[in-house]
């Protein structure tokens, strides 16, 4: 626990999204006092299971000031972002506005009210096509798309804010987030969905005809890309530990969050077959532009310095938890929440 003698007061920006909503549930279990700020552009009201909810946008500087003016925020966790790689290539300015400029608004409001602790959702996309594997935090950053570039721009902005006015930040570079809380009351619900595991589960659930495998001629054991999948509640655990470090006076830092194991696209599909016992139609498709063959993290730094201990390391467990969520009757959920 942190040095605070009371429950930490946490602003979760983007707490109605996939990872943010798991964070809210995790923080609630730990007894934190939670405020959620979300504009519901991609998030869902019904995924917020705890805390005070404020519907609003990071473009609203008056709203931000009023949130911080009350003096009841110790730390800000920032999950809100546009995160579709393909869209970022086609519409880069949307990404620079939503991910960089809006974050500058948030940091400026924090600076104005003297709030100094910030946890940032960064991404493996900051590395682009890595020169060496596994990827450590010192591996050269070289994003290959505007999404990764905007996340890296925020990391740089945070470094400058530390030097300029003492803002302390921890940047967490997620590899492939997946899975759902055991309760299956929250989970991944993107529109449109582009990620491998939820798409394969949609095929298993009969909501999609087939899964396209993007490229079968990579230099990997079965020709398909290798990714490092990490359970969303393990990401939440890392944020919680990072928060306590900041509240204890830690310096700014950057951590990779992954399992340090690579699974191929075919291995994921096979594991979904095993977990669901359903037939999965697979179609071989061309490579997706910008996909590196292998992205695997070295997360030793987070384990050593934060004491991070992922609890859901097996691919089967990750997929089982996502499957429980996918089997829910989504027809009961209206388009608007």
Task: Name which of 168 and 173 has its Cβ closer to ligand UDP.
Answer: 173
Residues labelled catalytic:
147
189 makes contact with ligand UDP (CB under 6 A): no
- Considering only 51-59, 152-160, 208-216, 241-249, which stretch makes contact with ligand UDP by CB under 6 A? 208-216
Scanning 24-32, 191-199, 250-258, 323-331 for contacts with ligand UDP by CB under 6 A, the matching segment is 191-199
Reported as half-sphere exposure (CB side, CA atoms, 13 A), residue 145 has a value of 21
Find the binder of ligand UDP among 213, 230, 319, 322 (CB under 6 A). 213
The reply to whether 265 sits near ligand UDP by the rule CB under 6 A is yes
Among 214, 247, 250, 305, binds ligand UDP (CB under 6 A): 214
Give the residue from 310, 24, 254 showing the smallest Cα distance to 124.
Answer: 254
Q: Which two tokens stand for residue 312?
A: 């859901």
Give CA–CA dist 315/261, Å, rounded.
10
269 part of the interface to ligand UDP, by CB under 6 A: no
Of 7, 20, 10, whose CA–CA distance to 49 is shortest?
20
Q: Mask: binding to ligand UDP, 272-291, rule CB under 6 A, as x and -? A: ----------------x--x
Quick one: which segment of 33-41, 44-52, 102-110, 212-220 binds ligand UDP (CB under 6 A)?
A: 212-220
Q: Are 37 and 102 in contact (CB under 8 A)?
A: no
Asked if omega into 192 is within 30° of 0 (cis), the reply is: yes
Among 195, 266, 301, 303, binds ligand UDP (CB under 6 A): 195
Question: In this chain, which residue has its C-beta nearest to ligand UDP?
Answer: 225
> How far, in Å, CA of 224 to CA of 236, rounded?
29
Asked whether the beta carbons of 234 and 311 are under 8 A apart, the reply is yes
Q: How far apart are CA 197 and CA 195, in angstroms?
A: 6
Q: Does 227 bind ligand UDP (CB under 6 A)?
A: yes
Among 138, 194, 281, 327, binds ligand UDP (CB under 6 A): 194
- In whole angstroms, give the CA distance from residue 36 to residue 50: 9
28 sits near ligand UDP (criterion: CB under 6 A)? no
By rule CB under 6 A, what string of x and - marks binding of each residue 142-181 to ligand UDP? ----------------------------------x-----
**Piece of 34-42, 69-77, 114-122, 192-200 that binds ligand UDP (CB under 6 A):** 192-200
Rounded Cα gap, residues 256 and 68, in angstroms: 29
d(CA 54, CA 25): 16
Nearest to 298 by CA among 178, 133, 152: 133
For residue 252, give the DSSP letter.
P
SS3 content of the chain, % helix, strand, coil (to 5): 40, 20, 45
- Determine if 212 is a binding residue for ligand UDP (CB under 6 A): yes
Pick the closer one to ligand UDP by CB: 209 or 329.
Answer: 209
Q: Which is nearer to ligand UDP, 44 or 227 (CB)?
A: 227
Strand 33-38 to 52-55 pairing: parallel
Q: Which residues bind ligand UDP (CB under 6 A)?
A: 176, 194-196, 199, 211-214, 225, 227, 265, 288, 291
């Amino acid at each position: 626990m942190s040095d605070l003698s009371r429950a930490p007061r946490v602003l979760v920006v983007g707490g109605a999204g996939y990872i943010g909503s798991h964070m809210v549930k995790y923080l609630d279990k730990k007894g934190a006092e939670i405020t959620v700020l979300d504009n519901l552009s991609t998030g869902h009201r019904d995924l917020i299971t705890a805390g005070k909810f404020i519907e609003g946008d990071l473009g609203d500087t008056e709203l931000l000031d009023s949130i911080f003016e009350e003096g009841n925020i110790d730390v800000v966790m920032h999950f809100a972002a546009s995160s579709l790689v393909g869209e970022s290539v086609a519409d880069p300015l949307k990404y620079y506005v939503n991910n960089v400029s809006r974050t500058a608004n948030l940091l400026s409001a924090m600076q104005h009210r003297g709030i100094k602790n910030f946890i940032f959702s960064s991404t493996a996309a900051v590395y682009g096509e890595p020169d060496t594997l596994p990827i450590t935090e010192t591996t050269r950053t070289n994003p290959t798309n505007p999404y990764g570039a905007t996340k890296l721009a925020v990391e740089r902005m945070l470094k400058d804010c530390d030097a300029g006015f003492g803002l302390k930040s921890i940047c967490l570079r997620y590899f492939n987030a997946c899975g759902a809380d055991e309760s299956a009351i929250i989970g991944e619900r993107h529109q449109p969905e582009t990620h491998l595991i939820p798409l394969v589960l949609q095929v298993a659930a009969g909501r999609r005809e087939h899964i396209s495998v993007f490229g079968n001629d990579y230099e990997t054991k079965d020709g398909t890309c290798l990714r490092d999948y990490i359970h969303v509640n393990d990401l939440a655990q890392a944020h919680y530990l990072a928060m306590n470090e900041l509240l204890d006076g830690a310096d700014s830092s950057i951590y990779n969050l992954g399992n340090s194991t690579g699974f191929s696209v075919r291995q994921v599909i096979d594991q979904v077959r095993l977990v669901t016992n359903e037939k999965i139609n697979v179609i071989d498709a061309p490579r997706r532009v910008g996909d590196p063959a292998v992205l695997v993290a070295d997360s030793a730094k987070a384990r050593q310095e934060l004491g991070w201990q992922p609890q859901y390391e097996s691919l089967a467990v990750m997929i089982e938890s996502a499957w429980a969520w996918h089997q829910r009757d989504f027809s009961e959920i209206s388009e608007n929440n």
